[in-house]
Amino acid sequence: MLILLQGGRVVDPAHDRDAIGDVFIEDGRIVAAPTDGRRPDATYDLRGKIVMAGGVDLHSHIAGSNVTLAREIMPELPALAAAGGVDIAPSPATWGSYATGLRYAQMGYTTVIEPALIPTHAIEAQIELAAIPIIDVGALGILGNDDYSLGLLRGTGDASELQDYVAWTLSHAKCLGLKVINAGGAEAFKFNVRTFSLDDEVPDYGVTSRAIMRAMQKAVTDLGVPHPVHLHCNNLGVAGNADTALATMEAAEGLPIHLAHIQFYGYGKEGPKGLSSAAPRIAEGIARHKNVSVDIGQVMFGQTVTISGDILRQFDGRNAANPKKWGLSQGEGNGTGVVPYKYRAKSFVNAVQWSVGLEIMLLADDLWRVLFSTDHPNGALFVRYPEIIQLLMDRNERARWLERLPQDAREVSNLAAIARELTYAEIAIITRAGPARLLGLQDRGHLGPGAVADVAVYVERDDKKAMFEKADYVFKDGRLVVRDGAVTEVTFGRAYHVAPGFDSKIERRVADFYDRYYGAKVSTFGVPDDIAARPHRFAKVPCQS
Amino acid sequence: MGDGAGALERAAELLGGARLPVIGGLLTDIAGAQAALALAEKLGGVVDHAAGTALTRAARIRRETGVCAASFGEVRNRADVVVILGDAPFDQDPALLDTLFAPHDGLPRPGNAKRQLVALGGRKPSAPKGVPLTSIEIGKGGLPAAIAMLAAGVGQRRFAFKDKSLQDKIESVADKLHTAAFAVFVYSAAELEEPVLHTVLQIVRDLSNKTRAAMLALPAPGNGEGVNLCSTWTCGLPVRTSFARGVPVHDGWLYAADRLIASGEADALLWIDGLDGKPSALPGRVPTVVLSARSGSHRRGDIVIEVANAGTDHEAALYLPAITGIGMVRPSGQGSGKPTVAAVLTRLSEIIDARGGR
């Protein structure tokens, strides 16, 4: 069946395209216009509408034992958010797996990456991911605080065994890439260490955060995993931590690295309250270090919950919990910290955070490396994305928001001076084209022939929030799944992962390790192909060796 | 016992026509739990698990106050003071101490004190070789007071208890906890009631200001933890949730299967028993469909459908204590050839739809 999407403004920055034109779909793929005079079987008149590839969200906590722990601690989150004006149903089911997929699709997103899969809990993560309808997914597996890695890095550090171990872990858990969260910090916390920086040493193992990060970068690069190490730096949320972010960029020494939710590291110590925006320095650092990519982790005012494997920092933040309850689960490797949190426009600190994220995006020199996220739900619920897009595209809207902020926050913010308004093409880069490219998902984020036919169509409106809240049409693999902001067909997508090769010796070694220290069989957390009870659930992304 | 196809039809008729059906037992794997939740939603019924009391008690603590937990592996490797509260941990897992105190060194752990065991409960356990044991035997009913005293001791609040000898022993345990590098409280939510669970959590939080501490729950039997997690990621709520009004509503007392049956609010029961382990008694007496992997777990008049045993007969995702999470269990043998719980529930759902729905 040949489908023609006709006459819309096609915004496809991967192909330098931003013009009125046509998009053809056949057999689930974008195809070139037929040259044989074939008539389309279905035509959609998209005059007045914007056509983009389906959204690709590279960092959103949507599945896993960590997310479900947060659901257990805060079933009332949707109700509180709705009471604060967010347009979601106030039921606990709203942040269950099923509702997550539908809502993403309604906004025109078609691929979402779970950034924190705990390897021993891979089964729950992959079952939950499979329960999310419509969207394609991928997951990043967490290493860097696990004892096996630290044991290898102790002393001389066996690079080839670490490489095999990383490959084995990613294959075993069917992950798309590697996540490292406060490398060494979670393990140090188990020894009652309460602050941990780049050059601090993990007790007993004696290895630094910097060394762990470097070793993981080398492993990932040598394996040819397309996505670089996805790093959650040390000192998240600490005033002055822009120094940490910049030191980490330097520490990467030219090897690719992705720094997650960089807003949370965008703080200086200037001003009467000892907290200021260091966004210009961060933006300059990203511009200078071309091997570095980031996602923003934009904060929005309102109720949310923070979910993180950075148990050291989550524990430190427990007294700021709002409502006053919190969870810490010490587990193999990182574990999970859950701290409910309410960002308030009247709070100096939260106002600075809100400004920092926007500043970093608007000051970006190369938006292909400065990608959109709220670190859902940590900065804001993903349903807030349309509001953020509006703020990026409309400086008057930013000015209206700034007026509500405390005076002392405005004094340390740089936002008022930034006139830039992102274009549709730039929005497409940071929400589709850039993330897809960075993840190594070459068949999406763009509308060139051969791309998967994941297409989002928006009615062009002055009110960008309204525009991006409800896609007019969404096609997933060439099937219409959303019409006028409502899901019309519930489909189920695929999970993308890498399967790098490894020396089989590592399997015996890891099996012995888990048996000896945990009394556990590694086979119990190996993800089978049929875990979703659906054919073709998993799709391999090739490594680039 | 009924023949296969006939039983399915009769079950569909019963459940599809019920005013408030309850899906109970839920002794099944994750796939079975997913199918049960979908069926409950379709029928506008209630889901409960055989271990629902403990599960919902623990869920309530989580949503009121949160958690400070450690995984089994972390306790085994890092804890230098392990405090077992009550008897249930030993009753539920007779090998508990052997698994928590492996005979060899564990992974690097904080502090260098010799690992020790404290037992606060009804009877003195036998300590693993070389592990110093402090056993404080307390009569039934005395445990809440003992834990309250421990909390006061840890929080350095003065108190006087009628049994001075017990008070001294408890205060000495409090001292141990203060000097511990990582103290862990092992307990069962089936045994400790909510106020006591809150107290233990508060002890852990007080200790956490200066040192490390955590709690380790014995998992609810019958894949209770797995089923409960599945309920949570599916509808945002734990078991004892009703789908009768479209949006799911949870209440640990209101939606208990046995209470609903005893009161007459529930008019049909679908009881799922597809695992090994101690058989659970079926609650009350209403028209019942039993999905059973064992013989004899039904009563005269029940509609019985034989199902496979998850993990023994087929690959299954189940909560596994060793990884403190859901893992895959693969059968060693041939399999019984019986349908899985998930397959039967899916078929029931299809038949109900074909009959014109509920």
User: Going edge to edge, which strands form the sheet with B303-306?
Assistant: B249-250, B241-242, B46-47, B21-27, B268-273, B288-292, B303-306
Dump strand ranges (E) for A120-163. Answer: 136-142
* A91 and B CB contact within 8 Å: yes
The reply to whether residue A516 touches residue B99, judged by beta carbons under 8 angstroms, is no
Q: Residues, chain A, total? A: 545
Cross-chain CB nearest to B234 (options A96, A190, A205):
A96
In angstroms, rounded to a whole number, what is the distance separating the alpha carbons of residues A494 and A400? Answer: 41
**Mean pLDDT value across residues A42-61:** 98
Q: Which of B233, B240, B341 to mutate to test the interface with A (most CBs of A within 10 A)?
A: B233
Cross-chain CB nearest to A524 (options B62, B65, B328):
B328
Which residues of B are less than 8 Å from A531 in CB distance? 317, 328
The reply to whether residue B236 touches residue A315, judged by beta carbons under 8 angstroms, is no
Which residues of B are less than 8 Å from A94 in CB distance? 236
Distance from CA of A282 to the nearest CA of B (A): 34
Distance from CA of A308 to the nearest CA of B (A): 14
The pLDDT tens digits of the residues spanning B64-101 come to: 999 999 999 999 999 999 999 999 999 999 999 999 99
Tokens of A487: 């899901």
Look at residues A104, A114, A107, A190 and name the one whose alpha carbon lies nearest to residue A145: A190
Which residues of B are less than 8 Å from A192 in CB distance? 110, 181, 211-212
Is the pLDDT at B2 greater than 50? The verdict is no
Look at residues A121, A195, A2 and name the one whose alpha carbon lies nearest to residue A527: A121
Q: Are strands B182-187 and B212-217 parallel, antiparallel or unpaired?
A: parallel
Percent of chain A with pLDDT over 70: 99
* A38 and B CB contact within 8 Å: no
Least confident of A479-488, B42-51, B273-282: B273-282
pLDDT at B297: 64
pLDDT at B176: 97
Cα B115 versus chain centre, distance: 28
Quickly state the pLDDT bin for A513 (edges 50, 70, 90).
Answer: very high
The reply to whether residue A75 touches residue B108, judged by beta carbons under 8 angstroms, is no
Chain A residue nearest residue B64, CA to CA? A325
Which residues of A are less than 8 Å from B55 in CB distance? none
Start-to-end C-alpha separation, chain B: 25
Percent of chain B with pLDDT over 70: 97
Quickly state the pLDDT bin for B284 (edges 50, 70, 90).
Answer: confident
Is the pLDDT at A47 greater than 50? The verdict is yes
Look at residues A70, A311, A308 and name the one whose alpha carbon lies nearest to residue A190: A311
Cross-chain CB nearest to A75 (options B74, B76, B237):
B237
The reply to whether residue B73 touches residue A128, judged by beta carbons under 8 angstroms, is no
Name, in order, each residue with C-beta under 8 angstroms of B330's C-beta and a sequence gap of 6 or more: A523, B315
User: What's at B207, amino acid-wise?
Assistant: L
Look at residues B55, B64, B86 and name the one whose alpha carbon lies nearest to residue B202: B64
User: What's at A238, amino acid-wise?
Assistant: V
CA A423 to each of CA A50, A98, A373, A469, B352: distance values in angstroms, whole numbers, following the listed order: 12, 32, 17, 17, 52
Quickly state the pLDDT bin for B7 (edges 50, 70, 90).
Answer: very high
The pLDDT tens digits of the residues spanning A12-21 come to: 999 999 999 9
**Mean pLDDT value across residues A178-182:** 98
DSSP B314: B
Regarding an ipTM greater than 0.90, the answer is yes
* A160 and B CB contact within 8 Å: no
pLDDT at B1: 42
Dump strand ranges (E) for A246-355. Answer: 257-259, 267-268, 276-277, 292-295, 302-308, 326-330, 336-343
Is the pLDDT at A39 greater than 60? The verdict is yes
Is the pLDDT at A314 greater than 80? The verdict is yes
The reply to whether residue A91 touches residue B326, judged by beta carbons under 8 angstroms, is no
Which residues of B are less than 8 Å from A524 in CB distance? 320, 322-323, 327-329
Q: In this complex, how many residue pairs, one in chain A and one in chain B, have their CB atoms less than 8 Å apart?
A: 172
Name, in order, each residue with C-beta under 8 angstroms of A64's C-beta and a sequence gap of 6 or more: A114, A116, A117, A118, A121, A124, A125, A128, A139
Average pLDDT score, chain A: 97
In angstroms, rounded to a whole number, what is the distance separating the alpha carbons of residues B245 and B49? Answer: 20
Is the pLDDT at A157 greater than 70? The verdict is no
Is the pLDDT at B4 greater than 70? The verdict is no
B347, B16 Cβ separation under 8 angstroms: no
Start-to-end C-alpha separation, chain A: 37
The pLDDT tens digits of the residues spanning B24-38 come to: 999 999 999 999 999
The reply to whether residue A69 touches residue B67, judged by beta carbons under 8 angstroms, is yes
Which residues of A are less than 8 Å from B98 in CB distance? none
Rg over CA atoms, chain B = 23
Q: Which of A121, A492, A524 to mutate to test the interface with B (most CBs of B within 10 A)?
A: A524
User: What's at A306, amino acid-wise?
Assistant: T
A329, B70 Cβ separation under 8 angstroms: yes
The reply to whether residue B233 touches residue A533, judged by beta carbons under 8 angstroms, is no
Dump strand ranges (E) for A118-227. Answer: 136-142, 177-181
Quickly state the pLDDT bin for B103 (edges 50, 70, 90).
Answer: confident
Is the pLDDT at B192 greater than 70? The verdict is yes
Greater model confidence, B336 or A397: A397
pLDDT at B123: 83
Cross-chain CB nearest to B232 (options A71, A147, A326):
A71
* A523 and B CB contact within 8 Å: yes
**Mean pLDDT value across residues B119-124:** 89
Tokens of A186: 């979670």
The reply to whether residue B232 touches residue A68, judged by beta carbons under 8 angstroms, is yes
The reply to whether residue A72 touches residue B59, judged by beta carbons under 8 angstroms, is yes
Phi then psi for B139, rounded to 5 degrees?
-65, 160
Tokens of A326: 């919190």
The reply to whether residue B327 touches residue A325, judged by beta carbons under 8 angstroms, is no
Quickly state the pLDDT bin for A475 (edges 50, 70, 90).
Answer: very high
Distance from CA of A248 to the nearest CA of B (A): 27
Chain A residue nearest residue B330, CA to CA? A524
User: What pTM did the predictor assign?
Assistant: 0.98
Which residues of B are less than 8 Å from A132 in CB distance? none
Look at residues A138, A244, A121 and name the one whose alpha carbon lies nearest to residue A185: A244
* A511 and B CB contact within 8 Å: no
Q: Which of B37, B81, B107 to mutate to test the interface with A (most CBs of A within 10 A)?
A: B107
Greater model confidence, B328 or B103: B328
For residue A399, how many other CB atoms are within 10 A of its CB?
A: 11
Least confident of A187-201, A317-331, B170-184, B324-338: B324-338
**Mean pLDDT value across residues A429-458:** 98
